[in-house]
Structure 1
Amino acid sequence: MGTVVVGYVPKPEGHAAVRAAVAEAQLRDASLVVVSSHRGNDEGAEVERELASVQAVLAESGVAYEVRQVGGGFEPAEDLLSIAEASSAELIVIGLRRRSPVGKLILGSNAQRILLDAHCPVLAVKAV
């Protein structure tokens, strides 16, 4: 059984990424690893509440999953890439946010790093 790794943030793009990752995991008959990378300035109770709602969606999907909360020294891209490599992921799913016309010239630094440095294919989805 393969593994799909998804980066989750409690924003519309994070929810879109989780939905797409669940669909990919079902299609590939793979397990799912949800990576929630947060820094010290995040509200602990809010993060826990958001992750509980994501876990409810995952439980309903029937996909085997694991949620990893990562905080501390590394950047979110580094957290996601290291977990994906350690899990031998066959796919990474990330969410992208809408950008202004000028912002479209440059992807976010985390998204760009993941797209360029990932050892496996990356699916980038946008929030609807």
Structure 2
Amino acid sequence: MKILIAYDKNTSISNVLEKGVERAKADGAYVYLVRTCSADRKIEELSELEEQMNQIKNDVFDKEGIACETHLLIRGVAPGEDIVRYAKQKEVDEIIIGIKKRSKIGKMVFGSNAQYIILEAHCPVLTVK
């Protein structure tokens, strides 16, 4: 089994990681830890984000004995679209994402990446508050 755990700057990652570890251990899954960011970031910022992801991999997944690889998706499209494309490319069996409450106006103006992922993904999506 393959699980994609996706997060961005707005996601409370601790709950997402906790659920991801639980699911991966239960199913003996391989984990893809994915973070999205915009293409206008400086090289130093991208390096820092990659370093943070590797730290999470070491501190959480390696410590638990879970096979994991990290990927920083530098998007040219919306984050939800990037995640759905990547999940399909890697043929993952489940996507785990964090969600947060947003006003109706916020959803209308900014859209909802979680909603896009839930509706467009080829596999089940587990949302975590």
TM-score tier, shorter chain, comes to 0.7 to 0.9
Shift in Å, 1:16: 2.0
Q: After superposition, what is the alpha-carbon deviation per residue over 1:86-107, rounded to whole angstroms, capped at 9, x for unaligned? A: 222111000012445x579879
- Point out the more displaced range, 2-11 or 109-118: 2-11
Shift in Å, 1:46: 4.0
Shift in Å, 1:78: 1.3
- In 2, Cα distance between the equivalents of 1:103 and 1:30? 38
Given that 1:8 and 1:15 are in contact with CA atoms closer than 8 Å, whether structure 2 keeps it comes out as: no
Given that 1:8 and 1:18 are in contact with CA atoms closer than 8 Å, whether structure 2 keeps it comes out as: no
Amino acid at match of 2:37: H
- Percentage of matched positions with identical amino acids: 30
Matched residue pairs, number?
124
- Point out the more displaced range, 14-23 or 105-114: 105-114
CA RMSD of aligned residues (A): 2.4
Does residue 93 of structure 2 align to residue 94 of structure 1?
no
Given that 1:89 and 1:120 are in contact with CA atoms closer than 8 Å, whether structure 2 keeps it comes out as: yes
**Cα 1:11–1:51 shift into 2, 3 Å:** farther
Q: After superposition, what is the alpha-carbon deviation per residue over 1:20-61, rounded to whole angstroms, capped at 9, x for unaligned? A: 112111111110011111113443354234213312212112
Report the TM-score when normalising by structure 2.
0.80
Gaps of 5+ in 2: none
Amino acid at match of 1:3: K
Shift in Å, 1:12: 5.1
Given that 1:4 and 1:30 are in contact with CA atoms closer than 8 Å, whether structure 2 keeps it comes out as: yes
Q: What is the aligned partner in structure 1 of residue 55 from structure 2?
A: 53
Report the TM-score when normalising by structure 1.
0.81
Amino acid at match of 1:14: I
* 1:22 partner SS: helix
